[in-house]
Amino acid sequence: MTKAASDLFPDHDGASLKEVRGDATHATGILPAHAIRALIREKEIWAAKEIEDAQVQPASLDLRLGPVAYRLRASFLPGEGSAVMDKVEEFALHKIDLSEGAVLETGCVYLVPLLEALALSERTGAAANPKSSTGRLDIFTRVITDFGTEFDQVEPGYKGHLYLEVSPRTFPILVRQGSRLSQIRFRRGEARHSDTELRHLHEQHKLVDGGEPNIDGGLGLTVDLSGDRETGLVGYRAKRHSAVIDVDRPGAYEVLDFWDPVYVRGAKRIILDPDEFYILASREAVHVPATHAAEMVPYNPLVGEFRVHYAGFFDPGFGAGEAGGTGSRAVLEVRSHEVPFILEDGQIIGRLVYERLTGKPTALYGTGIGSNYQRQGLKLSKHFKS
């Protein structure tokens, strides 16, 4: 890092570890809300515009779009020798003012500098993911860092700005400065559970309902194509060439203006059409205990030509009784590639990995903090009317 960058992003490695951990019981793990607030106080997380308390989730921080966006010729990673804005100068087609709102078109790639920046200690790294509502709108987003060689990954000790690549896939979207499309988790060390530890955690907390869980490189989730008893509804397929969706307007849109319902008749299967976007649900009701966070990871790509779950973070308390849940289904964002693909009821479609927190969060996912998807079944994003 250059001297100028070092001056701009001072090293807070000497900050009080006790304060940052809060009431931590583990030296490694995902940082809960009170530890994230401590990072904000210590200026390891900072922003040009004051960070709002509502941005802090039980085990993550919502990231906000800045005042401008750049339409790009193509996606890129800066690599070890370049800052992001150096690449933007080379690949940007034009600059867009987001201060009063602007429409981002489908099929285009945009780069937005975020309001939040980091000056992390050497013991703290981070990973980003689209927010649940972002994934359910088929908006492809990835966080990029200066000198980064991977998307959505922030190396321990990173000191610099954050940038968001945004590519709406199905619906054109209206965004503005402050819109929240992505979220970031902070972690110390490696705290992902092995399969043996995951089986023990299931014995303690019953991570999924039903019989014996499928645990092999994570907790296996299967797709529910049994169909609603009265209608046979199993999911939704996104309509193309729809109207614009304002990402900051919950409950504003009619479902059938944007989605075609998907039904089963007889055989419990559907055919995924190539490059179409589907919302489906898991058969299992998922439970994330207060001491843990979870993440959906891609299932073995050799078993099918489809991608599942753009937005993979599950907060502590998701589906948990202590947070107002009774087990919540995992909503699956599914896109097939290249060829039509037959999806069968009960087919494994993804895996959840669990990581412990450094300490119990002060708030859990649920209605108490205005979470939109507690106790969910098959559910579209919050932007659509019930």
Tens digit of pLDDT for each residue in 28-49? 999 999 999 999 999 999 998 9
Q: Taking all residues of the chain, what is their mean pLDDT, rounded to a whole number?
A: 87
Hey, what are 178's tokens? 């402050």
From the DSSP assignment, how many helices (H) and strands (E) are in the chain? 6, 26
Say if domain 195-356 classifies as CATH 2.70.40.10: yes
| CB half-sphere exposure, 163, CA atoms < 13 A | 27
DSSP string, 113-131: EEEEEEE--TT-EEEEEE-
- What proportions of the chain, in percent to the nearest 5, are helix, strand and coil? 15, 40, 45
Q: In the sheet where 173-175 sits, what is the strand order?
A: 102-104, 173-175, 245-246
pLDDT at 321 over 70: no
Q: Judge whether 18-188 and 195-356 match in fold.
A: yes
- Note if the pTM is more than 0.95: no
pLDDT of residue 327: 64
pLDDT at 3: 39
Distance (Å, whole) CA 378 – CA 238: 14
261-312 pLDDT per residue, tens: 999 988 899 999 988 999 999 999 999 999 999 998 866 555 555 666 665 8
Q: Which residue has the higher pLDDT, 82 or 26?
A: 82
Highest CATH level, class, for 18-188? mainly beta
Tens of pLDDT, residues 200-258: 999 998 999 878 899 999 999 999 999 888 899 999 999 988 999 999 999 999 999 99
For residues 242 and 137, the answer to whether their CB atoms sit within 8 Å is no
Tell me the mean pLDDT in the region 326-332. 79
| Domain ranges for the chain | 18-188, 195-356
Per-position DSSP letters for 340-357, written without gaps between them: -EEEETT-EEEEEEEEEB
Local confidence band at 23 (pLDDT 50, 70, 90 cut-offs): very low
